[in-house]
């Protein structure tokens, strides 16, 4: 795997990156790679398959409590008012 070295990073930028990495529980290098990945994806667009995979991953990470109504149930309930 290739290696990328970045020199002369402004102190403020470095500290901001360090803070973001800690908040995301990633290493400084992993956070830099994630930011580069997001930036390039935003510029080049994202495939539908990748979007759906990301959506499934986010949905699984932030699941609703058991017994929560579905979106369809909420819409039905609102229409019945």
Distance CA(70)–CA(21), nearest Å, equals 34
pLDDT at residue 50 in the model: 84
Exposure string of 40-50, with b = 16+ CB inside 10 Å and e = fewer, is eeeeeeeeeee
| Count of domains observed in the chain | 1
**What is the domain range of residue 49?**
1-61
> Would the pTM count as exceeding 0.85?
no
Q: Determine, yes or no, domain membership for 70.
A: no
14 close to 4: Cβ distance less than 8 angstroms:
no
pLDDT at residue 65 in the model: 83
Q: Determine, yes or no, domain membership for 77.
A: no
Q: Which residues contact 17 (CB under 8 A, 6 or more apart)?
A: 9, 28, 31, 32, 35
pLDDT at residue 66 in the model: 85
Q: Determine, yes or no, domain membership for 71.
A: no
Q: Determine, yes or no, domain membership for 18.
A: yes
Q: Determine, yes or no, domain membership for 36.
A: yes
Which pLDDT tens digits describe the chain residue by residue (81 residues)? Answer: 888 899 999 999 999 999 999 999 999 999 999 998 888 877 777 777 888 898 888 888 887 788 888 889 999 999 988
Q: Which candidate, 39, 40, 32, 33, places its Cα nearest to that of 13?
A: 32
């Amino acid at each position: 795997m290739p290696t990328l070295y970045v020199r002369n990073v402004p102190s403020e930028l470095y500290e901001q990156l360090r803070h973001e990495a800690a908040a995301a529980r990633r290493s400084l290098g992993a956070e830099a790679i994630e930011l580069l990945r997001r930036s390039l994806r935003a510029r080049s667009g994202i495939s539908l398959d990748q979007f759906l995979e990301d959506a499934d991953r986010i949905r699984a990470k932030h699941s609703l409590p058991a017994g929560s109504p579905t979106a369809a149930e909420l819409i039905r309930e609102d229409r019945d008012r």
